[in-house]
Amino acid sequence: MPSAPTVRFAVLVPVKPPAFAKSRLRDLGDDARRDLATAFAVDTVTAAAACPLVDRVLVVTDDHVLARGLADLGVDVIPDGTSDDLNGTLALAAAEMHRRRPDLRLVALCADLPALRPEELAHALAATPADAMAFVADADGIGTTAVVAPSLALFHPAFGPASRQRHLDAGAHEVDGVDVPTLRRDVDDRDDLVEALRLGVGRSTSLVTTVLGL
């Protein structure tokens, strides 16, 4: 009997321009904050692209320099036309990816996961249901780092304050039975960065933090 085909995914990564990103790291200085925000995005996208269940990665950003650098990684990049509306940005990105590859399931992924390992992303994706939207909560159990939907019709991300509860209230399935600490470890402040470094960050973040002596 032939085996069932492997489910494939498209990852959507919204990236805020580094000039405005990661305000809670401003105490390190603006140059360091911008460099770290860029490194986080590069390492997140690199890990997503290396995930064995991911066929496409689509980055959404209005930073032209960052866009060129990310495109060099072999991923697709489009501009963001929705200003500060993260969920609106993701809805437009999902529609565009569905137009390009309607066969792929959709994944919204935060761009500040510098320790993300491709195999952990794969474990989480494999644990999502085939008939409902799902999400992965952050390490603090308050926010969300990833939202997964089997179709465009079921893709309704609710990122923002207390997004874990917002996704639960919307009826989304919480992926909580897999050990994926690097997928849960988003970085907003110094304490988060220390935890990410403990897990082991990607090449770009490692370089920046070494230069900064962190």
Annotated binding site: 144, 160, 163
Displacement of CA 97 from its chain's centroid (Å): 15
Q: CA-CA distance, 3 to 13, in Å (whole number)?
A: 31
- For the chain, the maximum distance between any two Cα atoms, rounded to a whole number of angstroms, is 60
Task: Find the helix or strand (DSSP H, E) in which 124 lies.
Answer: helix 118-126
Tokens, residue 22: 């990661």
Full strand arrangement of the beta sheet holding 105-109: 76-78, 54-60, 9-14, 105-109, 144-149, 134-137, 173-174
**Amino acid at site 126:** A
Task: Find the helix or strand (DSSP H, E) in which 144 lies.
Answer: strand 144-149
Known binding-site residue numbers for phosphoenolpyruvate: 144, 160, 163
